[in-house]
Amino acid sequence: MDISIVGSGYVGLITAVGLASKGHNLVCIDVDKERVNSINRAEPPFFEEGLSEALRTHAGEEGNLRATLDYEEILGTQATFICVTTCSSSGKSADFRHVKQSTRTIGEVLRAKKDYHVVVTKSSVVPGTTEELVIPLLEETSQKSAGDGFGAGVNPEFLQESEALRCFLNSDRIVIGQFDRKSGDVMSDIYQDFAAPCLRMAIRTAEMIKFASNAFLATKISFINEVGNLCKQLGIDVYEVADGMGYDPRIGRSFLNAGIGFGGSCLPKDLEVLLHRFASLGESAPLLQGVMDVNTAQPLRLVELVRARLGDLKGKTLAVLGLAFKPGTDDLRNAPAVKIIRQLIQQGARVKAYDPRVMAKISEIFNGSLQCGQNVAETIAGSDAVLLLTEWDEFRDVTLYAGKTVIDGRRVLDPTEALRVCHSYEGVCW
Protein backbone atom coordinates (compact mmCIF):
# COMPACT_ATOMS: atom_id res chain seq x y z
CA MET A 1 0.00 0.00 0.00
CA ASP A 2 1.13 3.61 -0.52
CA ILE A 3 1.34 5.21 2.91
CA SER A 4 2.29 8.69 4.09
CA ILE A 5 3.69 9.40 7.54
CA VAL A 6 3.48 12.92 8.91
CA GLY A 7 6.31 13.58 11.37
CA SER A 8 9.66 11.80 11.02
CA GLY A 9 10.64 11.76 14.66
CA TYR A 10 11.11 8.65 16.64
CA VAL A 11 7.70 7.04 16.15
CA GLY A 12 7.24 8.26 12.57
CA LEU A 13 10.55 7.11 11.18
CA ILE A 14 10.50 3.73 12.94
CA THR A 15 6.94 3.15 11.69
CA ALA A 16 8.00 4.15 8.17
CA VAL A 17 11.03 1.89 8.13
CA GLY A 18 9.08 -0.98 9.71
CA LEU A 19 6.24 -0.74 7.18
CA ALA A 20 8.73 -0.35 4.31
CA SER A 21 10.36 -3.59 5.39
CA LYS A 22 6.97 -5.27 4.92
CA GLY A 23 6.85 -4.10 1.30
CA HIS A 24 4.69 -0.94 1.59
CA ASN A 25 5.71 2.27 -0.20
CA LEU A 26 6.37 5.03 2.30
CA VAL A 27 6.61 8.76 2.05
CA CYS A 28 7.72 10.59 5.20
CA ILE A 29 6.53 14.19 5.44
CA ASP A 30 8.31 16.57 7.76
CA VAL A 31 8.70 20.33 8.17
CA ASP A 32 12.41 20.02 8.98
CA LYS A 33 14.44 20.26 5.76
CA GLU A 34 17.61 18.91 7.33
CA ARG A 35 15.77 15.85 8.61
CA VAL A 36 14.18 15.23 5.21
CA ASN A 37 17.55 15.44 3.48
CA SER A 38 19.18 13.21 6.03
CA ILE A 39 16.51 10.51 5.58
CA ASN A 40 16.88 10.71 1.80
CA ARG A 41 20.64 10.26 2.20
CA ALA A 42 19.83 7.18 4.34
CA GLU A 43 21.44 8.83 7.36
CA PRO A 44 19.38 8.38 10.55
CA PRO A 45 18.60 11.74 12.18
CA PHE A 46 18.87 10.11 15.64
CA PHE A 47 20.50 7.02 17.03
CA GLU A 48 18.48 3.82 17.17
CA GLU A 49 19.71 0.25 16.90
CA GLY A 50 19.30 -1.11 13.34
CA LEU A 51 17.88 2.13 11.90
CA SER A 52 20.95 2.98 9.88
CA GLU A 53 21.01 -0.41 8.13
CA ALA A 54 17.25 -0.32 7.53
CA LEU A 55 17.43 3.16 5.98
CA ARG A 56 20.28 2.04 3.71
CA THR A 57 18.01 -0.76 2.48
CA HIS A 58 14.84 1.26 1.97
CA ALA A 59 15.74 4.91 1.37
CA GLY A 60 17.41 6.24 -1.80
CA GLU A 61 16.74 5.99 -5.52
CA GLU A 62 15.74 2.34 -5.71
CA GLY A 63 14.12 2.08 -2.31
CA ASN A 64 10.49 2.16 -1.18
CA LEU A 65 10.91 4.96 1.38
CA ARG A 66 11.57 8.64 0.83
CA ALA A 67 11.09 11.88 2.67
CA THR A 68 9.63 15.20 1.56
CA LEU A 69 8.59 18.62 2.83
CA ASP A 70 5.50 18.56 0.61
CA TYR A 71 2.18 17.64 2.25
CA GLU A 72 0.61 17.37 -1.21
CA GLU A 73 2.32 13.99 -1.53
CA ILE A 74 -0.45 12.64 0.70
CA LEU A 75 -2.60 12.68 -2.43
CA GLY A 76 -0.62 9.78 -3.89
CA THR A 77 -1.21 7.59 -0.82
CA GLN A 78 -4.15 5.67 0.64
CA ALA A 79 -3.50 6.20 4.32
CA THR A 80 -1.74 8.82 6.44
CA PHE A 81 -0.32 8.25 9.91
CA ILE A 82 -0.03 11.28 12.19
CA CYS A 83 3.22 10.72 14.09
CA VAL A 84 4.13 14.22 15.28
CA THR A 85 5.40 14.76 18.79
CA THR A 86 2.95 15.30 21.64
CA CYS A 87 5.70 16.14 24.08
CA SER A 88 6.41 19.71 25.19
CA SER A 89 9.98 20.90 24.62
CA SER A 90 10.78 20.32 28.31
CA GLY A 91 9.54 16.73 27.89
CA LYS A 92 7.43 17.14 31.02
CA SER A 93 3.95 17.69 29.65
CA ALA A 94 1.83 17.07 26.59
CA ASP A 95 1.52 19.57 23.80
CA PHE A 96 -1.03 18.89 21.06
CA ARG A 97 -0.13 21.95 18.95
CA HIS A 98 1.71 19.84 16.38
CA VAL A 99 -1.17 17.35 16.17
CA LYS A 100 -3.60 20.21 15.49
CA GLN A 101 -1.35 21.88 12.94
CA SER A 102 -0.58 18.74 10.97
CA THR A 103 -4.22 17.58 11.09
CA ARG A 104 -5.33 20.90 9.58
CA THR A 105 -2.80 20.62 6.77
CA ILE A 106 -3.73 16.99 6.07
CA GLY A 107 -7.41 18.01 5.89
CA GLU A 108 -6.66 20.87 3.49
CA VAL A 109 -4.79 18.49 1.18
CA LEU A 110 -7.57 15.89 1.38
CA ARG A 111 -10.06 18.46 0.12
CA ALA A 112 -8.69 17.81 -3.37
CA LYS A 113 -8.65 14.03 -3.05
CA LYS A 114 -11.28 12.03 -4.91
CA ASP A 115 -10.56 8.54 -3.53
CA TYR A 116 -11.13 7.18 -0.06
CA HIS A 117 -8.30 7.97 2.40
CA VAL A 118 -7.76 6.92 6.00
CA VAL A 119 -6.12 9.20 8.57
CA VAL A 120 -4.63 7.39 11.55
CA THR A 121 -3.48 8.99 14.81
CA LYS A 122 -0.31 7.25 15.97
CA SER A 123 0.99 10.04 18.19
CA SER A 124 0.08 9.35 21.83
CA VAL A 125 -3.07 11.33 22.44
CA VAL A 126 -5.14 11.39 25.58
CA PRO A 127 -8.38 9.36 25.32
CA GLY A 128 -11.00 11.35 23.45
CA THR A 129 -8.57 13.44 21.35
CA THR A 130 -9.11 11.78 17.97
CA GLU A 131 -12.90 12.04 18.21
CA GLU A 132 -13.00 15.46 19.84
CA LEU A 133 -10.13 17.17 18.02
CA VAL A 134 -8.61 15.28 15.08
CA ILE A 135 -11.80 14.18 13.28
CA PRO A 136 -13.64 17.54 13.66
CA LEU A 137 -10.53 19.38 12.39
CA LEU A 138 -10.25 17.03 9.42
CA GLU A 139 -13.95 17.54 8.62
CA GLU A 140 -13.61 21.30 8.86
CA THR A 141 -10.50 21.61 6.70
CA SER A 142 -11.30 18.91 4.11
CA GLN A 143 -14.97 19.87 3.93
CA LYS A 144 -15.81 16.18 3.94
CA SER A 145 -17.47 13.97 6.54
CA ALA A 146 -15.75 11.20 8.44
CA GLY A 147 -16.94 7.79 7.29
CA ASP A 148 -18.05 9.17 3.98
CA GLY A 149 -15.29 11.41 2.58
CA PHE A 150 -12.49 9.86 4.59
CA GLY A 151 -11.82 7.15 7.17
CA ALA A 152 -10.21 7.66 10.56
CA GLY A 153 -8.65 5.70 13.37
CA VAL A 154 -6.04 5.33 16.04
CA ASN A 155 -3.11 2.95 16.09
CA PRO A 156 -1.04 3.47 19.25
CA GLU A 157 2.58 2.37 19.35
CA PHE A 158 4.30 0.45 22.14
CA LEU A 159 7.91 1.01 21.06
CA GLN A 160 10.71 1.16 23.57
CA GLU A 161 13.60 3.45 22.73
CA SER A 162 16.83 1.55 22.02
CA GLU A 163 14.89 -1.44 20.67
CA ALA A 164 12.20 0.35 18.72
CA LEU A 165 12.60 -1.39 15.39
CA ARG A 166 12.62 -4.80 17.00
CA CYS A 167 9.51 -3.82 19.03
CA PHE A 168 7.75 -2.60 15.87
CA LEU A 169 8.44 -5.72 13.85
CA ASN A 170 7.74 -8.12 16.73
CA SER A 171 4.95 -6.30 18.52
CA ASP A 172 2.86 -8.23 21.07
CA ARG A 173 -0.33 -6.75 19.68
CA ILE A 174 -1.55 -4.35 17.06
CA VAL A 175 -4.21 -2.08 18.49
CA ILE A 176 -6.61 -0.54 16.01
CA GLY A 177 -9.22 1.98 17.06
CA GLN A 178 -11.59 2.40 14.14
CA PHE A 179 -14.08 5.11 13.29
CA ASP A 180 -16.01 2.51 11.30
CA ARG A 181 -15.43 -0.90 9.81
CA LYS A 182 -14.13 0.44 6.48
CA SER A 183 -11.44 2.54 8.20
CA GLY A 184 -10.46 -0.45 10.36
CA ASP A 185 -10.21 -2.73 7.30
CA VAL A 186 -7.63 -0.42 5.67
CA MET A 187 -5.62 -0.26 8.91
CA SER A 188 -5.61 -4.00 9.42
CA ASP A 189 -4.61 -4.52 5.75
CA ILE A 190 -1.50 -2.49 6.47
CA TYR A 191 -0.56 -4.96 9.20
CA GLN A 192 -1.59 -8.15 7.39
CA ASP A 193 2.01 -9.49 7.29
CA PHE A 194 2.53 -9.07 11.02
CA ALA A 195 2.25 -12.13 13.25
CA ALA A 196 0.83 -10.19 16.23
CA PRO A 197 -2.90 -10.36 17.04
CA CYS A 198 -4.77 -7.41 15.58
CA LEU A 199 -7.28 -6.02 18.09
CA ARG A 200 -10.03 -3.84 16.64
CA MET A 201 -12.10 -1.55 18.82
CA ALA A 202 -13.57 1.90 19.36
CA ILE A 203 -11.19 4.81 18.90
CA ARG A 204 -11.14 6.03 22.50
CA THR A 205 -10.62 2.49 23.81
CA ALA A 206 -7.46 2.22 21.70
CA GLU A 207 -6.27 5.57 22.99
CA MET A 208 -6.88 4.40 26.57
CA ILE A 209 -4.97 1.14 26.05
CA LYS A 210 -1.85 3.16 25.29
CA PHE A 211 -2.15 5.38 28.37
CA ALA A 212 -3.22 2.59 30.69
CA SER A 213 -0.27 0.47 29.51
CA ASN A 214 2.28 3.20 30.20
CA ALA A 215 0.63 4.03 33.54
CA PHE A 216 0.79 0.36 34.52
CA LEU A 217 4.48 0.09 33.62
CA ALA A 218 5.15 3.25 35.65
CA THR A 219 3.17 1.73 38.53
CA LYS A 220 5.31 -1.41 38.52
CA ILE A 221 8.48 0.69 38.71
CA SER A 222 7.25 2.96 41.51
CA PHE A 223 5.87 -0.06 43.35
CA ILE A 224 9.21 -1.87 43.36
CA ASN A 225 11.04 1.34 44.27
CA GLU A 226 8.77 1.85 47.27
CA VAL A 227 9.25 -1.78 48.32
CA GLY A 228 13.00 -1.32 47.73
CA ASN A 229 13.12 1.67 50.05
CA LEU A 230 11.71 -0.53 52.83
CA CYS A 231 13.96 -3.46 51.89
CA LYS A 232 17.02 -1.25 52.25
CA GLN A 233 16.01 -0.38 55.84
CA LEU A 234 15.45 -4.06 56.62
CA GLY A 235 18.65 -5.37 55.00
CA ILE A 236 16.76 -7.25 52.28
CA ASP A 237 17.88 -7.31 48.65
CA VAL A 238 14.95 -5.96 46.61
CA TYR A 239 16.32 -7.61 43.45
CA GLU A 240 15.98 -11.03 45.08
CA VAL A 241 12.47 -10.04 46.09
CA ALA A 242 11.66 -9.01 42.50
CA ASP A 243 13.09 -12.29 41.17
CA GLY A 244 10.99 -14.25 43.64
CA MET A 245 7.84 -12.31 42.76
CA GLY A 246 8.50 -12.46 39.03
CA TYR A 247 8.12 -16.23 38.83
CA ASP A 248 4.41 -15.73 39.39
CA PRO A 249 3.07 -15.27 35.84
CA ARG A 250 0.32 -13.02 37.22
CA ILE A 251 3.06 -10.60 38.31
CA GLY A 252 5.96 -11.11 35.86
CA ARG A 253 9.56 -10.05 36.43
CA SER A 254 9.82 -7.24 33.87
CA PHE A 255 9.70 -3.59 34.99
CA LEU A 256 10.52 -4.59 38.57
CA ASN A 257 14.08 -3.25 38.49
CA ALA A 258 14.36 -0.91 41.43
CA GLY A 259 16.51 2.22 41.18
CA ILE A 260 16.32 5.97 40.70
CA GLY A 261 12.98 5.84 38.87
CA PHE A 262 11.60 6.21 35.39
CA GLY A 263 12.49 8.96 32.93
CA GLY A 264 12.22 9.48 29.19
CA SER A 265 9.69 11.26 27.04
CA CYS A 266 6.84 8.81 27.54
CA LEU A 267 6.13 7.37 30.99
CA PRO A 268 6.41 10.67 32.94
CA LYS A 269 4.54 12.70 30.31
CA ASP A 270 1.75 10.15 29.74
CA LEU A 271 1.21 9.76 33.47
CA GLU A 272 0.99 13.51 33.88
CA VAL A 273 -1.48 13.79 30.99
CA LEU A 274 -3.64 11.02 32.44
CA LEU A 275 -3.66 12.71 35.85
CA HIS A 276 -4.82 15.92 34.18
CA ARG A 277 -7.58 14.00 32.44
CA PHE A 278 -8.77 12.61 35.81
CA ALA A 279 -8.67 16.10 37.32
CA SER A 280 -10.50 17.70 34.39
CA LEU A 281 -13.36 15.26 34.95
CA GLY A 282 -13.41 15.85 38.70
CA GLU A 283 -12.07 12.34 39.41
CA SER A 284 -9.28 11.68 41.87
CA ALA A 285 -6.49 9.21 41.07
CA PRO A 286 -4.66 8.54 44.34
CA LEU A 287 -2.87 5.44 43.07
CA LEU A 288 -1.44 7.10 39.95
CA GLN A 289 -0.67 10.28 41.88
CA GLY A 290 1.30 8.09 44.29
CA VAL A 291 3.19 6.53 41.36
CA MET A 292 4.19 10.03 40.27
CA ASP A 293 5.14 11.14 43.81
CA VAL A 294 7.35 8.09 44.41
CA ASN A 295 9.09 8.76 41.10
CA THR A 296 9.66 12.42 41.93
CA ALA A 297 11.27 11.57 45.26
CA GLN A 298 13.32 8.55 44.18
CA PRO A 299 16.31 10.31 42.51
CA LEU A 300 16.68 12.60 45.53
CA ARG A 301 17.11 9.58 47.79
CA LEU A 302 20.39 8.96 46.01
CA VAL A 303 21.53 12.50 46.80
CA GLU A 304 20.69 11.83 50.47
CA LEU A 305 22.86 8.70 50.40
CA VAL A 306 25.79 10.71 49.02
CA ARG A 307 25.36 13.23 51.84
CA ALA A 308 25.17 10.45 54.41
CA ARG A 309 28.50 9.08 53.10
CA LEU A 310 30.39 12.33 52.50
CA GLY A 311 28.72 14.88 54.76
CA ASP A 312 28.49 18.44 53.43
CA LEU A 313 28.91 18.31 49.65
CA LYS A 314 30.52 21.74 49.34
CA GLY A 315 33.85 21.30 47.50
CA LYS A 316 33.45 17.52 47.12
CA THR A 317 34.21 16.02 43.71
CA LEU A 318 31.61 13.58 42.43
CA ALA A 319 31.97 11.40 39.36
CA VAL A 320 28.67 10.70 37.62
CA LEU A 321 28.61 7.77 35.22
CA GLY A 322 25.55 7.66 32.99
CA LEU A 323 23.23 10.48 32.01
CA ALA A 324 20.75 9.08 29.44
CA PHE A 325 17.37 8.07 30.88
CA LYS A 326 18.25 4.49 29.96
CA PRO A 327 21.08 2.73 28.12
CA GLY A 328 21.07 2.47 24.34
CA THR A 329 19.78 6.02 23.84
CA ASP A 330 21.13 9.55 23.74
CA ASP A 331 17.90 10.85 25.25
CA LEU A 332 18.10 13.11 28.30
CA ARG A 333 14.41 13.99 28.58
CA ASN A 334 13.31 13.63 32.22
CA ALA A 335 16.51 11.69 32.91
CA PRO A 336 16.84 11.14 36.68
CA ALA A 337 20.58 11.86 36.28
CA VAL A 338 19.84 15.48 35.31
CA LYS A 339 17.73 15.97 38.41
CA ILE A 340 20.41 14.43 40.61
CA ILE A 341 23.25 16.50 39.12
CA ARG A 342 21.21 19.69 39.53
CA GLN A 343 20.83 18.93 43.26
CA LEU A 344 24.50 18.05 43.70
CA ILE A 345 25.63 21.29 42.05
CA GLN A 346 23.14 23.27 44.13
CA GLN A 347 24.67 21.77 47.23
CA GLY A 348 28.14 22.95 46.18
CA ALA A 349 29.62 19.72 44.76
CA ARG A 350 31.96 19.68 41.76
CA VAL A 351 30.50 17.21 39.27
CA LYS A 352 32.40 15.46 36.52
CA ALA A 353 30.15 13.36 34.27
CA TYR A 354 30.57 10.82 31.53
CA ASP A 355 28.08 9.07 29.28
CA PRO A 356 29.00 7.18 26.12
CA ARG A 357 26.37 9.04 24.06
CA VAL A 358 25.20 12.37 25.42
CA MET A 359 28.14 14.56 26.33
CA ALA A 360 27.50 17.58 24.07
CA LYS A 361 23.89 17.90 25.21
CA ILE A 362 24.72 17.70 28.92
CA SER A 363 27.23 20.56 28.80
CA GLU A 364 24.53 22.66 27.08
CA ILE A 365 22.03 21.90 29.87
CA PHE A 366 24.45 22.76 32.66
CA ASN A 367 26.05 25.64 30.85
CA GLY A 368 29.60 25.18 32.03
CA SER A 369 28.79 24.29 35.65
CA LEU A 370 29.73 20.66 35.05
CA GLN A 371 32.92 19.04 33.83
CA CYS A 372 32.74 16.39 31.12
CA GLY A 373 34.87 13.27 31.37
CA GLN A 374 36.30 11.36 28.39
CA ASN A 375 35.94 7.84 29.72
CA VAL A 376 35.24 5.98 32.96
CA ALA A 377 38.81 5.88 34.33
CA GLU A 378 39.53 9.54 33.68
CA THR A 379 36.15 10.65 35.07
CA ILE A 380 36.41 8.83 38.37
CA ALA A 381 40.10 9.61 39.02
CA GLY A 382 40.42 11.81 42.13
CA SER A 383 36.68 11.78 42.90
CA ASP A 384 35.27 11.51 46.43
CA ALA A 385 32.50 9.20 45.21
CA VAL A 386 31.26 7.58 42.02
CA LEU A 387 27.54 7.64 41.19
CA LEU A 388 26.23 5.10 38.70
CA LEU A 389 23.09 6.52 37.08
CA THR A 390 22.59 4.63 33.78
CA GLU A 391 23.29 0.93 33.35
CA TRP A 392 25.60 1.07 30.30
CA ASP A 393 27.52 -2.19 29.82
CA GLU A 394 30.85 -0.38 29.85
CA PHE A 395 30.24 0.59 33.50
CA ARG A 396 29.79 -3.00 34.68
CA ASP A 397 33.43 -3.98 35.19
CA VAL A 398 33.77 -3.83 38.97
CA THR A 399 37.57 -3.63 38.84
CA LEU A 400 37.23 -0.06 37.50
CA TYR A 401 36.09 1.02 40.96
CA ALA A 402 38.77 -0.57 43.14
CA GLY A 403 39.12 1.44 46.35
CA LYS A 404 36.31 3.85 45.40
CA THR A 405 33.14 4.90 47.21
CA VAL A 406 30.34 3.89 44.86
CA ILE A 407 26.63 4.62 45.00
CA ASP A 408 24.63 2.70 42.46
CA GLY A 409 21.31 4.04 41.17
CA ARG A 410 20.62 1.29 38.63
CA ARG A 411 22.05 -1.96 39.99
CA VAL A 412 24.95 -1.66 37.54
CA LEU A 413 27.24 -3.74 39.77
CA ASP A 414 26.76 -7.01 41.56
CA PRO A 415 26.63 -5.93 45.24
CA THR A 416 28.68 -8.88 46.59
CA GLU A 417 31.51 -8.27 44.11
CA ALA A 418 31.31 -4.51 44.56
CA LEU A 419 31.56 -4.78 48.35
CA ARG A 420 34.72 -6.85 47.89
CA VAL A 421 36.41 -4.49 45.42
CA CYS A 422 35.18 -0.98 46.24
CA HIS A 423 36.07 1.04 49.32
CA SER A 424 32.34 1.19 49.99
CA TYR A 425 29.27 0.33 47.94
CA GLU A 426 25.54 0.74 48.32
CA GLY A 427 22.52 0.97 46.08
CA VAL A 428 19.74 3.52 46.16
CA CYS A 429 17.34 0.92 47.55
CA TRP A 430 19.51 -2.11 48.24
Least distance to ligand UGA from the beta carbon of 164, Å?
8
Least distance to ligand UGA from the beta carbon of 181, Å?
27
If you ran DSSP here, which 8-state letter would residue 427 be given? Answer: E
129 binds ligand UGA (CB under 6 A): no
211 binds ligand UGA (CB under 6 A): no
Least distance to ligand UGA from the beta carbon of 217, Å?
5
Least distance to ligand UGA from the beta carbon of 329, Å?
7
274 binds ligand UGA (CB under 6 A): no
88 binds ligand UGA (CB under 6 A): no
124 binds ligand UGA (CB under 6 A): yes
H or E element, residue 245: helix 238-246
259 binds ligand UGA (CB under 6 A): yes
Structural contact between residues 201 and 183, judged by C-beta atoms closer than 8 angstroms: no
Q: Which of 35, 122, 301, 326 binds ligand UGA (CB under 6 A)?
A: 326
93 binds ligand UGA (CB under 6 A): no
Structural contact between residues 317 and 352, judged by C-beta atoms closer than 8 angstroms: yes
Alpha carbon distances (Å) from 367 to 339, 360, 361, 370, 424: 15, 11, 10, 7, 32
Q: Rounded to 5 degrees, what are φ and ψ at 364?
A: -60, -50
179 binds ligand UGA (CB under 6 A): no
Catalytic site includes residue 167: no
Q: Interface residues for ligand UGA in 289-308 (CB under 6 A)?
A: none
Q: Which of 7, 263, 299, 356 binds ligand UGA (CB under 6 A)?
A: 263
Structural contact between residues 119 and 130, judged by C-beta atoms closer than 8 angstroms: no
Q: Which of 73, 131, 157, 237 binds ligand UGA (CB under 6 A)?
A: 157
Q: Which of 160, 347, 363, 371 binds ligand UGA (CB under 6 A)?
A: 160
159 binds ligand UGA (CB under 6 A): yes
288 binds ligand UGA (CB under 6 A): no
Phi-psi region of 162 (alpha: psi -120 to 50; beta: other; left: phi over 0): left
Distance (Å, whole) CA 420 – CA 430:
16
Distance (Å, whole) CA 254 – CA 163:
15
Interface with ligand UGA by CB under 6 A: which range of 82-90, 140-148, 259-267, 342-350?
259-267
Q: Which of 46, 47, 255, 366 binds ligand UGA (CB under 6 A)?
A: 255
267 binds ligand UGA (CB under 6 A): yes
371, β-bridge pairs: 352
Interface with ligand UGA by CB under 6 A: which range of 138-146, 189-197, 261-269, 360-368?
261-269
Q: Which of 80, 214, 229, 405 binds ligand UGA (CB under 6 A)?
A: 214
Structural contact between residues 426 and 407, judged by C-beta atoms closer than 8 angstroms: yes
Q: Between 380 and 419, how does the x/- string for binding to ligand UGA read (CB under 6 A)?
A: ----------------------------------------
Residue 297 CB contacts under 8 Å (≥ 6 apart), including other chains: none
Interface with ligand UGA by CB under 6 A: which range of 231-239, 245-253, 264-272, 363-371?
264-272
Interface with ligand UGA by CB under 6 A: which range of 104-112, 159-167, 375-383, 396-404?
159-167
Give 187: exposed, middle or buried? Use CB within 10 Å, 0-12, 13-18, 19+.
Answer: buried
Q: Which of 30, 131, 161, 408 binds ligand UGA (CB under 6 A)?
A: 161
Active-site entry in 28, 266, 422, 429: 266
Please list the alpha-helical segments (H only) found in 257-411: 267-280, 286-310, 336-346, 359-366, 376-380
337 binds ligand UGA (CB under 6 A): no
Characterize the bridge pairing of strands 118-121 and 151-154. parallel
Alpha carbon distances (Å) from 381 to 212, 348, 352, 377: 45, 19, 10, 6
Task: Identify each DSSP E strand in 22-78 by its residue range.
Answer: 25-29, 65-68
Structural contact between residues 37 and 47, judged by C-beta atoms closer than 8 angstroms: no
Active site residues: 266
Q: Which residues bind ligand UGA (CB under 6 A)?
A: 124, 157-161, 214, 217, 221, 255-257, 259, 261-264, 266-267, 325-326
